[in-house]
Structure 1
Amino acid sequence: MVDLPGHSLSGVIASFLFILLTMKQSDDFRVIGPAYPILARVGEDALLTCQLFPKRTAMHMKVKWYRTEPDMPAIAHWDGVEMTEMQVEEYRDRIEWIDDSIADGNVTLKIHNIQPSDNGQYWCQFQEGNYHKETSLLLKVANMGSAPKIHMEGPREGEVQLVCTAKGWFPEPQVYWEDITGERLLTVSEHHIQDEEGLFYVEDTLVIRNVSVETVSCFIHNPVLTEGKGAVIALPEKFQTELAFLKVIGPSQPILVRVGEDIQLTCYLFPKANAQSMEVRWVQAHHYPAVYVYTNGDHVAGEQMVDYRGRTALVSDAIHEGRLTLQIRNARASDDGQYQCLFEKDGVYQKASLDLKVVAVGSSPRITMEMLTDGEIQLMCTSNGWFPQPQMQWRDIEGKAIPSISEILHSDSHGLFHVETSLLITNSSMANVTCSISNLPLGEEKKAAFILSESRMAFSWTILPVLGLLFAMVIGLIRRKNW
């Protein structure tokens, strides 16, 4: 054993104490949060809490809550001051910083009026100097929507179609059908969409081909809340309702409308019946969102698709006879397609299909010419504003079709087509051509002719050889001079 001089031992101890005192104490803490997900219902408030371990003050630290990017926090505090300039816009006026226990390293984020978009992972970060630690918390947002409604389409021969609908669920719920014995029934189609608020609308269809089935139930289950709602329909009772004996009649031919014109979609009950107490809706593929909904004498704006807001009006002068017309102003290319008109009462509906064809004839074609390096000529024919996709064709002076070398189509922000087609002219027999663009549903076309004179053609095909000869002569003169 070696004896150290007294002054040496005291020096080592002093150095060790100095190191301990000057060492940063930033690397001896962790951040902890709840061990389980935090559950909050839509519209309620949620508390997200995290704390330092072991306990120590965080009053001088930088603390932030964020979702995906630390540089885009929901809220951040530094030395007890809120850093609002860093805050993500969607959380402004909806969050509250609670730091009653910040002296013990405990902070809480309160989110008011929980929305579906708040669902997911959050991070709580403490920073002291250049050192930081963080932990994650899982916020599960849930909402019980409306009770399901079962709609029955007027009975057809040999089968009955049932549609179960509900709104306002989160997260996406589970939907299933059962017969009176509790046996699961196979769904034909499922349509689940999120509305503007992020809540789910569900529409599940069931077809019953067993006429002996009398009672069917639809259940909707929230997987987070482990709660559900159900509805039951008694089929024999529905077979006796008014609409079970009526039909809905729509146009027998497609409705043809030009872009910018007004659309009229008319349907009526047969035999005639008063529809004032019925719900009438015009839809595309599904019941919701709708193009237009009429019920209890008024328009249901909350169920209307965004694209049709402010563009629709109902003509109901003959509603007592069961005839209604929906007007859609200023037809757009996006309006093209099939619609359905549904009359519903007492949970039974009848429907008719309407085929709307939106058309537009574009600008007159414009032909431009480009000289190619090998002496050939390329023609380009362009036009704008067509719908649906038009047919393009080049023809010679005798009207015979000439194949193009390329065709390009793309739609603009209004859904209208811009078209380009190219033709390669290789000899004088193709000097006079026509470019035609046709709208097939309307049977209309626009043409442009291109005429290239023989002298111009001769000039076109001799210009390159002549230039080549001149170039060769210049090179020869230069070489001779150098010699």
Structure 2
Amino acid sequence: MVELPGYSLSGVFASFFFIFLSMKRSDDFRVTGSVHPILAMVGEDALLICQLLPKRTARHLEVRWYRSEPSTPVFVYRDGDEVTETQMEEYRGRVEWIEGGITEGTVALKVHSLRPSDHGQYWCRVKEDNYLAETSLLLQVASLGSDPYIHVDGSVESGLQLVCTAKGWFPEPQVSWRDIKGENLLTFSNHNFQDEDGSFYVESTLVVRDASTETVSCFIHNPSLAEEKGSDVSIPEKLQTELASLKVIGPSQPILVGVGEDIQLTCSLAPKTDAQSMEVRWVRSHRHPAVYVYMDGAHVAGEQMAEYRGRTTVLSDAISEGRLTLQINDAKTSDDGKYRCLFEKDGVYQEADLDLKIIGLGFSPQISMERLKDGEVKLKCTSEGWFPQPHAFLLVTNSSVVNVTCSISSPLLESRMIYSREIQQICGLLLLLVGVVGLIWWKSCRKGELGEHKQRGAGFAVGTFSADTEAQRHPVDIQ
């Protein structure tokens, strides 16, 4: 018997046998799926299908549908039963196993009530014992949103400003403006935002500089469906409406409100005009979602930002004079910033800016002292709950009995919180302010000598920047 060096005949035979079984095993079945994207509309159902080849029953196999990780499946079917323990939460109750073709190896899963978040790649994995095969499918979810709405947003130095808005589009749409001849116009700005449901809200601005332009159109195009919707506007007609000759007036000074207090944002028409037939909305950076929308005497809840739900009311007693007030309860630091108040009628908007400043007066500062090994003394002054970033002040009385005063003040108010402490020292100290407001260091001179004191300071203050009372630390210069 001849043997290969370093190998036994039995070992070689076992290796070839294992390779043979593996090759045979890999030929048992494979999984295929559609090479083309599966296109379905938001709200409809989608059927995902993969096929075992050669055809064979899949009833006794494990079939796993998943997105990015097999461990968090969309659906699992094993030995004739559904397995839901590890199923992704967003698919519970929304997927259905289709039994029809399982005896011939057809593996089908129906996804009900499609959402934009369902868009993307899916994997179909079939497993038997230690062998598995899988394939991927692309599900394209699409939605034709609302018709574009064009309104006049007033005049700017270089021309007339038009704004085109639409919502409910998916995937991210393309926006274009065209003149009466169908030629594209240069857009001033485009903004696309995803709503909570994953669909897109679009807002596109066009500045018309040619005084002879009478009609322009706005088109929203869905790239997946190769479809678009359009609207046009007659500029002379819009400029002749009642609102075109009015102005919206807001507070000329910033509105100062303490954390936890109620906010009132008031705006009015000038001259006084009945606004009962108008739409009034308060917004932050863009028109949708809005802080609050008031239309036909009622609140339009569907357009409201999530963080303002349940916190807002409108005081409309003076609406016949064109004055409305939005009240936001329980002011949070996240409410701080710019707002806009918009009146709309017949596709024409007029607006005013409002500047809201939220103020948080924190806790009284506390001073603590720590004696270091080298004889130096470290003082720490802390205070939390301030908004916006406060100013920190340090006052040291130069004597053998040192009186240290820590003062914190709001940049928006004259209010200060002051704390002082006397510290008995035989020799001079070097002062350093660090920590939430700062640390104070005093460096001693040679033992038995009264030297000249030197002071240096560096520190930071704490501001309350979250509505749920969590504190975040931010640097601030010592003044």
Superposition TM-score, scaled by structure 2 size:
0.83
Structure 1 position 442 matched with structure 2 position 413: yes
Amino acid at match of 1:288: H
The match for 1:389 is: 389
User: Cα distance 1:115–1:57, how it changes in 2: closer, same or farther (>3 A)?
Assistant: same
C-alpha distance in 2, partners of 1:338/1:60? 62
Quick check: 2:401–2:424 contact (8 Å CA) kept in 1?
no
Structure 1 position 454 matched with structure 2 position 425: yes
Q: Deviation per CA, 1:183-203: give whole Å up to 9, x if none.
A: 222222222111111111111
User: Cα distance 1:189–1:453, how it changes in 2: closer, same or farther (>3 A)?
Assistant: same
SS of the aligned residue for 2:244 comes to helix
Distance apart, 1:255 and its partner CA: 0.9
User: Cα distance 1:23–1:178, how it changes in 2: closer, same or farther (>3 A)?
Assistant: closer
User: Cα distance 1:380–1:106, how it changes in 2: closer, same or farther (>3 A)?
Assistant: same
Superposition TM-score, scaled by structure 1 size:
0.82
Distance apart, 1:22 and its partner CA: 8.2
C-alpha distance in 1, partners of 2:129/2:157? 78
The match for 2:246 is: 246
Is the deviation greater in 118-127 or in 58-67?
A: 58-67
C-alpha distance in 2, partners of 1:442/1:51? 71
Is the deviation greater in 157-166 or in 61-70?
A: 157-166
C-alpha distance in 2, partners of 1:301/1:22? 65
Structure 1 position 65 matched with structure 2 position 36: no
The match for 1:52 is: 52
The match for 2:33 is: 33
Distance apart, 1:182 and its partner CA: 2.0
C-alpha distance in 1, partners of 2:326/2:294? 10
Q: Deviation per CA, 1:269-317: give whole Å up to 9, x if none.
A: 1111110000000111111111110011110011111111111111111
Q: Deviation per CA, 1:128-183: give whole Å up to 9, x if none.
A: 11010100000000000000000102345651111100010000100111112222
C-alpha distance in 1, partners of 2:18/2:246? 93
C-alpha distance in 2, partners of 1:101/1:305? 46
Amino acid at match of 1:209: R
SS of the aligned residue for 2:385 comes to strand
Quick check: 2:400–2:424 contact (8 Å CA) kept in 1?
no
The match for 1:184 is: 184
Quick check: 1:150–1:163 contact (8 Å CA) kept in 2?
yes
C-alpha distance in 2, partners of 1:330/1:307? 12
Q: Deviation per CA, 1:336-381: give whole Å up to 9, x if none.
A: 1111110000000111111111112111100111222222111111
| Aligned positions of 1:196-215 closer than 5 A | 196-215=196-215
Runs of 4+ in 1 over 4 A off after TM superposition: 18-25, 455-458
Is the deviation greater in 36-45 or in 328-337?
A: 328-337
Quick check: 1:187–1:205 contact (8 Å CA) kept in 2?
yes
Distance apart, 1:247 and its partner CA: 0.6
Quick check: 1:42–1:115 contact (8 Å CA) kept in 2?
yes
User: Cα distance 1:97–1:352, how it changes in 2: closer, same or farther (>3 A)?
Assistant: same
Quick check: 1:155–1:239 contact (8 Å CA) kept in 2?
no
User: Cα distance 1:430–1:91, how it changes in 2: closer, same or farther (>3 A)?
Assistant: farther
The match for 2:461 is: none
C-alpha distance in 1, partners of 2:89/2:330? 36
C-alpha distance in 2, partners of 1:378/1:310? 48
Distance apart, 1:397 and its partner CA: 2.2
* CA radius of gyration, larger in: 1
SS of the aligned residue for 2:383 comes to strand
C-alpha distance in 2, partners of 1:232/1:310? 37
The match for 2:379 is: 379
| Aligned positions of 1:289-308 closer than 5 A | 289-308=289-308
Structure 1 position 273 matched with structure 2 position 273: yes
Quick check: 1:154–1:243 contact (8 Å CA) kept in 2?
no
| Aligned positions of 1:316-355 closer than 5 A | 316-355=316-355
The match for 2:128 is: 128
Number of residue pairs the alignment of both structures matches: 419
Distance apart, 1:393 and its partner CA: 2.0
C-alpha distance in 2, partners of 1:443/1:240? 49
Amino acid at match of 2:124: C
C-alpha distance in 1, partners of 2:271/2:235? 23
Distance apart, 1:430 and its partner CA: 8.8
C-alpha distance in 2, partners of 1:214/1:377? 77
Quick check: 1:26–1:128 contact (8 Å CA) kept in 2?
no
Structure 1 position 233 matched with structure 2 position 204: no
C-alpha distance in 2, partners of 1:185/1:287? 23
Amino acid at match of 2:425: E
SS of the aligned residue for 1:220 comes to strand
Amino acid at match of 1:128: E
The match for 1:419 is: none
Distance apart, 1:254 and its partner CA: 1.0
| Aligned positions of 1:65-84 closer than 5 A | 65-84=65-84
The structure whose residues are more often helix, as a share, is 1
C-alpha distance in 1, partners of 2:147/2:174? 13
Stretches of structure 2 that go unaligned for 5 or more consecutive residues are: 1-13, 430-441, 448-479
User: Cα distance 1:371–1:113, how it changes in 2: closer, same or farther (>3 A)?
Assistant: same
Amino acid at match of 1:337: G
C-alpha distance in 2, partners of 1:24/1:224? 42
Is the deviation greater in 372-381 or in 284-293?
A: 372-381
User: Cα distance 1:181–1:333, how it changes in 2: closer, same or farther (>3 A)?
Assistant: same
User: Cα distance 1:80–1:25, how it changes in 2: closer, same or farther (>3 A)?
Assistant: farther
The match for 1:103 is: 103
C-alpha distance in 1, partners of 2:341/2:18? 83
Identical aligned residues as a percent = 61
C-alpha distance in 2, partners of 1:213/1:324? 35
Amino acid at match of 1:323: R
The match for 1:360 is: 360
Provide the alpha-carbon RMSD of the alignment: 2.5
Amino acid at match of 2:403: N
C-alpha distance in 2, partners of 1:23/1:146? 56
C-alpha distance in 1, partners of 2:238/2:124? 56
C-alpha distance in 2, partners of 1:223/1:203? 17
C-alpha distance in 1, partners of 2:23/2:234? 75
The match for 1:87 is: 87
Is the deviation greater in 379-388 or in 155-164?
A: 155-164
Distance apart, 1:432 and its partner CA: 2.5
